Amino acid sequence: MEVVVKLSKLWMLLSACLLVAVLPACDGAGDEDAVGDDDTVDDDDTGDDDDTGDDDDTGPGLEVTVDPAGSSEPLVNPGIGFADFQFGWWCNLPPITFTPEECADRVRAHWPENHPDSGTAYFRWTWAEIEPARGLLNFEMIDNAMQTAALLGQSLSFRIITVQEGGRGVPGWLAEAPYSAAELDFDGLKWPDYRDETFQAEHQRMVAALAGRYGGHPSLDHVDIGPVGCWGEWNTACISAADLFSIYSPQDDAAEQAIVASYENLVDHYLDAFSETPLVMLLIGGPTSPLETQVGAHAAAGGAGWRVDCWGDWGYWGPNWNHHEDLYPQSIEALTAAYADFPSTWERAPVVLETCGTWSTWIDLGWTTEAPDGEVYRSFEWALEQHSSLINSKFQAFPESYLEISEDYLTHGGYRIGLSHLSHSETAAPGGLLAIQAVWSNDGVAPMYHSREVRYRLNGLAGSQTLISSADTREWLPGEHSVEDMLNVDVGLQPGVYSLEVAIASKAGVDPLTVALPPIRLANEGQQDDGWLPVSELTIE
């Protein structure tokens, strides 16, 4: 069905001004701040069949209408698809032995066989690596990773952990006088006492320092809240304790709630500090773990998305239990009971998956992509049902038998933005206004969690100008979205015929300095290598 875009509110106001020249409402009608509206196209926006041929459907001043051709090709963009994990360990971070340029070259040279291009790199560091001396954070290491990722066309995501197998994951100074934060010993593995007031205060300071440098940075895709447990995965799998609560031997409900409060405080350190960066946290909780459910619901209610770290387990650990049937559904049900909006957290924060084992182990287990019962097929179906955006498959070679289904995920997972309809003025004057109405389609399963600029470019032999739309790309849930703009043409733009082009772009990063990520690849044919999509022409006169 053809989408009929609503009349621009601003055009309606200007029309009223022509009829009633002295109307007070006309004051400021041409104000540069009134650049447009961003509205979701719903059923009320669709015209009746007998109206679709009316000349006025596109509104005054919108004489030209185009419908750019769509594309079904897989897309690779920041924040979606398959993550690059630790640059494949080719850059020794830490210690730093390569420049970002050298590291990027090494990653390209050792790209895993058949692995799709990646729009996001994922790292895990211990607190000890991040802050070897109190107050002296190792920004150089994170800067290096972020700059390398940007050179590869990738955003960066990371997790800071506090437990290190065989040693201590927190800085040594934290366990020494005068700080002397309490910890437990499990055969040499040092487990923090997360209830300790000194630990809590120092953790909050460290997270705030990280956010002070990286919060809101255009190259930071998301931060994984993982300050607790083995590998930062909110479990006790690397030690002999039963769970995150019994490890402290609580004697009553008050003692249990004190542990809950300590975990929630650690989560809040991230929620408070990284308010401008998407956050995710492990899916924890369930009918048999109500205390963990409290913590998980607290994170979701505070704005965090979620992740799982054994996606694809249909019997990886044995035939009698698996994550997909015996844990994930029960956890989601319990979290929804504790926080009613949990099922819609994907609308504002990412869902991220990590494979259970590697592709090669899946092959060894005989797991196939055959519908409807193949384990790999069911895993990818579940990933789309949960509105997932990103999969960390350990940056391993892809089996050829899994390539087709992985390409299918690259055409549906995360966001998939395309321009489906554009109307604009046939002519504009230097110093005047250019009216543009665009209908964008998100054919993916999730929104874009970062605000990126929708840019229009007038490109001609006599010069060029870039214009910024009022669109907020974070609001583009799956479906169609109408954006109406009144844009100011540069008074110095010379008369002539100009190509009208569009791109969705990121800004370069400052402190740390990073190159701008490539413009978003659109679900349209004809997008140029530089990210611009030519859509029409207009005359400046």
258 neighbors 193 (Cβ within 8 angstroms): no
What's the residue count for the chain? 541
End-to-end CA distance of the chain: 35
**Residue 499, domain member (yes or no):** yes
Asked which of 412, 445, 465 is the last residue of a domain, the reply is 412
Same domain, 247 and 116: yes
**Residue 210, domain member (yes or no):** yes
Same domain, 391 and 451: no
**Residue 8, domain member (yes or no):** no
Distance CA 242, CA 260 (A): 16
Q: Which two tokens stand for residue 288?
A: 């048999």
453-460 and 496-505 as β-strands: parallel, antiparallel, unpaired?
A: antiparallel
Asked which of 386, 412, 438 is the last residue of a domain, the reply is 412
Same domain, 473 and 396: no
How many domains in the chain? 2
The CATH number linked to 219 is 3.20.20.80
**Residue 374, domain member (yes or no):** yes
**Residue 474, domain member (yes or no):** yes
DSSP annotation of 493: P
Give every residue of the chain whose pLDDT is below 50, as ranges: 1-60
**Residue 26, domain member (yes or no):** no
Task: Give the amino acid at 156.
Answer: L
Distance CA 39, CA 520 (A): 21
475 neighbors 447 (Cβ within 8 angstroms): yes
417-424 and 64-66 as β-strands: parallel, antiparallel, unpaired?
A: antiparallel
- Tens-digit pLDDT profile for residues 239-271: 988 899 999 999 999 999 999 999 999 999 999
The CATH number linked to 437 is 2.60.40
Same domain, 164 and 237: yes
Residue 161, C-beta contacts closer than 8 angstroms, at least 6 positions apart: 124, 125, 126, 127, 169, 226, 227, 231, 232
Phi, psi (deg, nearest 5) at residue 87:
55, 30
Same domain, 207 and 351: yes
Same domain, 288 and 401: yes
Same domain, 159 and 181: yes
Q: Which domain holds residue 459?
A: 64-73+417-540
Cα radius of gyration rounded to whole Å, the chain: 26
Asked which of 358, 389, 412 is the last residue of a domain, the reply is 412
If one counts every other C-beta atom within 10 angstroms of the C-beta of residue 71, the result is: 17
Burial of 381 (0-12, 13-18, 19+ CB in 10 A): middle
Same domain, 422 and 344: no
Distance CA 111, CA 287 (A): 42
- Tens-digit pLDDT profile for residues 22-80: 333 333 333 333 344 444 433 333 333 333 334 444 444 899 999 999 999 999 999 99
pTM: 0.88
Same domain, 312 and 435: no
**Residue 429, domain member (yes or no):** yes
For residue 403, give Cα distances in angstroms to 80, 354, 408.
17, 18, 9
Same domain, 302 and 232: yes
Q: Which residue has the tokens 């954006």?
A: 483
Same domain, 344 and 484: no
Same domain, 175 and 234: yes
Written as one string, the DSSP assignment of 116-180 is: PP-SEEEEEEEHHHH-SBTTB--HHHHHHHHHHHHHTT-EEEEEEES--TTSBSS-HHHHSTTT-
Q: Can you count the helices (H) and strands (E) in the chain?
A: 13, 21
> CA 480, 481, 482, 487 torsion: positive or negative?
negative
**Residue 402, domain member (yes or no):** yes
Predicted local distance difference test score (pLDDT) of residue 324: 98
